[in-house]
Structures are given as C-alpha cells and as structure tokens.
Amino acid sequence: MDGARLSRRGALAAGLAMGAGAASSALAGPAWAGEAARPGATGPGAARQGTAGPPEAEGAPAPFIVDCPSWGARRPSSPVKIWDRRPIRILVHHTATANSADYSRPAADRLARGIQNFHMDHNGWLDSGQHFTISRGGVVLEGRSLSLGILNGGRQQVEGAHCTGQNVVAVGIENEGTYTGVDPTPALWNSLRATCAYICRQYGIAPTELYGHRDYKNTACPGDRLYGMLPRLRTEVGATLGRRVSRAEAEKASWPLLRVGDTGPDVTAAQYLLRDAGATTTDPTGSFDEGTADAVRTFQVAHRADDVNGILGGESWPELARPLSRGPGRDGGDAWRAVDVLAEHRRVESVPDRVTAPVWQRLLGTGGTAVRPVSDPPGTARR
C-alpha cells in the first residue's frame, strides 16, 4: 500500500473521492448485512472462514481465511460496493510496516485492525482498502468486509481502495512488512501463493496476471525484493493450478522504478525525457537527485498523477516515455537522446523508426509479456 505514506493532498483527495463514490448507485449485490449476506460462503468451493469449516480438495485448495468478524473488524462507515463482474488480475502490496517477528494469530488480528483504523480514520475510507491481508506468520485475513464471501461466490467483486484505477478489476492483497531489502518469510510466501491460486481458480484469472502496485503507480510498493519475486509467484501459482508458466510468460513488461539515489543510464534517459517534457531545463547527470525529484513532481502535477511524490513508477512512465516516430524534422531532440543512451547501454543495435511503449520497455530492460491495458469501469471511486 502507500496509504501509510499518503500525502496530505492524497488523503484529502481520497476522502473527497469516497464521498462521491459512496453516492453511486452501481450496487449490484448485498451491502453490509453481517454474515448471513455472504453469497457462496457455504458452497463447495468456499474458502474456510471463521474458526471452523471443511478442508478443500484438489487443485488450488482454499486457504484458511480469517473473516472480518473473527479479527474484530469495525462495520464499514457506508455500504461496501459490489460489482457484478469478475476481477481480471491480482495486485500484490506490502504494508510498509515493520518486519515483525511476532507471527501469532493475535498479531495478525492486530495488524488487520490497525490497517482498518488507519484507512477509515486517517484516509477517510469506508473500510479497509485491500481485499485481503497476509501476516508475516502466514495468517490470511479478509480485508474489506464481504470480500471473502464474494470471492467464495466467484462471480462478483467488492470494490476496494488499494490502487486507483485497479480497485474493481484487481484483487488487492496487503502483505505485512517492508520488502525493499529483505525477502518475505516462508510462511507469508506460502500463504500468498495459496491465496493467489485460490483467487485465480475462483475467478478464472491466469496465474500470469499477478502484478505489483508499482506496475501501475508511482510507488516503491511492494518493495524491490517482493516485486522481484513476482515471476516466481506466477510460476508457483501456475504449478498449484496445474498449469505450466514459461519463463517468458512469467516476465511481464513493466517500467523501472526510479527514485532519489538511483544512478545510471536509465536515470540519464529519464532526465532527457523530463527535459523534453518541459519539466526541467537541467542537463542530464545520470544521478537521480532532489532536483530530478522536483522535475518528476512537476511532470506529475502537469499530468494530474494520483501520486505526486517525485518517484518515477508505473503511473508516470507511460506518459513520460511517449511514442516517437522518426521522420523529416522529427529526429533529434531530448527524447531521441534518451533513446540513444538506452540503446547504447543495452546494446540494442536497431531501434525501430517508431518507438512505442514495448520498445521503450525493451530499451529500459523491463521487457516481457505485454500487460493488458484494462482499468476500472466508469463509476468506480477514485482513490
């Protein structure tokens, strides 16, 4: 998540967006009505919830998921919105909280309550933003209320608040900890794999359709280490589902996350592109300093980014690395200098005359299987 790091501006915007979204009439399913309203919760494919229930058989067994009442969730401040459509992908987050060594169930319950309190009281959201939470001890918990019953039904989706533009089309999973420099615990990893596999099975989502928050937004979430493990997660979820995921499928096209302290040709290219976009007049240095962060913020403001934070991630890259075409009077300039720097660095001998997003991604070393550009339907709250 980046809720914990949400700027004042972001928190305010989120609060305003919630007010608008809560008034929407797109509700297609039950609002909060306690346990009895959970569709599919007792069906044969249902994940075990609460404190009892039969174990699941074959394929991707349903993990034990602690439901909202069992971890002491508050009632949402307004009805949770349910869409009559299946999500098409999963987004992996980290909570950016301490890497706790308390792997107990009470600690997991406290984590879920803490996130809910923060999202409701600080961000002004109606409930937890994420659909599910996984503790470092491997405890899986329901996040936003009704998410578990809706998942068990396999036909609808609870609107979340974990990534603007991806709150209906993607299931959001918060993983406890900060994974910028360390790997997640084996218990968390095993539960993440099992949870993803179960979600994929319930909704018919391909195991390759697992992403990190940074693929869509200007955020370090879910941390360099956990993000770097996503190809492995796609492969292992595929194996759980009995589907082989090739190495090429496991690598998805994305963008490099750049922030203060980074150096090298990718930074130089970004600096050329920022100057090309009019966000700075400074000569590229190859060193991402505070001046570069300022230029990124200027660019983010100009492009009305959700995250105006000086971090260059999946939200701003597609706008910065705009399509280029060679032609009379169109060669040269800073954007082409960016292309040249990257082509030389990555020894790309022949750059196409038309540089589109996949070409930029290859030049930036983040090429892989293309990502389907699907985002939330109209009527989804912006947050």
Residues that bind Zn ion (CB under 5 A): 1, 93, 213, 221
**Smallest separation, CB 356 to Zn ion (Å):** 28
**Smallest separation, CB 169 to Zn ion (Å):** 16
**Smallest separation, CB 219 to Zn ion (Å):** 6
Which residue, 150 or 173, has its beta carbon nearer to Zn ion?
Answer: 173
> How do 170-175 and 157-158 pair as beta strands?
unpaired
Which residue, 141 or 273, has its beta carbon nearer to Zn ion?
Answer: 141
Quote the CA–CA distance of 28 and 20 in Å, as a whole number: 18
**Smallest separation, CB 112 to Zn ion (Å):** 16
Quote the CA–CA distance of 166 and 183 in Å, as a whole number: 25
* Of the candidates 167, 122, 165, the residue with the CA atom closest to the CA atom of residue 143: 167
Which residue, 258 or 274, has its beta carbon nearer to Zn ion?
Answer: 258
SS3 content of the chain, % helix, strand, coil (to 5): 35, 10, 55
> How do 157-158 and 82-83 pair as beta strands?
antiparallel
**Smallest separation, CB 45 to Zn ion (Å):** 28
Which residue, 114 or 323, has its beta carbon nearer to Zn ion?
Answer: 114
Is the Cβ–Cβ distance between 148 and 41 less than 8 Å? Answer: yes
Which residue matches tokens 């034990």? Answer: 64
**Smallest separation, CB 162 to Zn ion (Å):** 6
Give 317's contacts (C-beta < 8 A, 6+ positions apart): 255, 256
Which residue, 48 or 94, has its beta carbon nearer to Zn ion?
Answer: 94
Q: How far is CA 193 from CA 86, 134, 207, 220, 243, in A?
A: 20, 11, 10, 21, 14
Give 99's contacts (C-beta < 8 A, 6+ positions apart): 136, 177, 178, 182
Which residue, 130 or 292, has its beta carbon nearer to Zn ion?
Answer: 130
